[in-house]
């Protein structure tokens, strides 16, 4: 199983049927692929589609994994340029609890 598949499954189980986000969020890993969280409808859907999103987060799979393990602070990643956010910053902040673990 690829890193993208593993990460997609982890995020899908963390999001569940209703994450409470109410928006569409896309993780853009560049050439490694994308993860789309469609939380605009219930049940929420997590896929690897490349669709328009309310918030797009550009980050590497390694950095996102490090964040989930607590080895990389999201604010530091943003300030160091390891993570770029386009769109609704409030939605990005709501994601933090979902990415732990």
pLDDT bracket for residue 31 (50, 70, 90): very high
Rounded to an integer, what is the distance from CA 100 to the centroid of its chain? 11
pLDDT bracket for residue 101 (50, 70, 90): low
Domain 3-91 has CATH 3.90.1300.10: no
- Mean pLDDT over residues 28-42, rounded? 96
- Mean pLDDT over residues 93-98, rounded? 80
- pLDDT: is 2 or 58 the higher one? 58
Query: What is the tens place of the pLDDT at every residue in 61-88?
Result: 999 999 888 999 988 999 999 999 999 9
Dist. CA 10–CA 91, nearest whole Å: 19
Given CA atoms 74, 1, 52, 25 in this order, what sign does their dihedral have?
A: negative
């Amino acid at each position: 199983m690829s890193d993208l598949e593993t990460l997609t499954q982890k995020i899908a189980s963390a999001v569940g049927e209703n994450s409470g986000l109410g928006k569409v969020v896309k993780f853009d890993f560049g050439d490694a692929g994308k993860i789309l969280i469609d939380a605009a409808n219930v049940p929420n859907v997590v896929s690897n589609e490349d669709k328009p999103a309310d918030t797009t987060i550009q980050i590497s799979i390694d950095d996102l994994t490090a964040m989930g393990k607590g080895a990389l602070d999201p604010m530091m990643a943003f300030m160091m340029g390891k993570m770029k956010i386009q769109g609704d910053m409030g939605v990005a902040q709501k994601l933090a609890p979902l990415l732990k673990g």
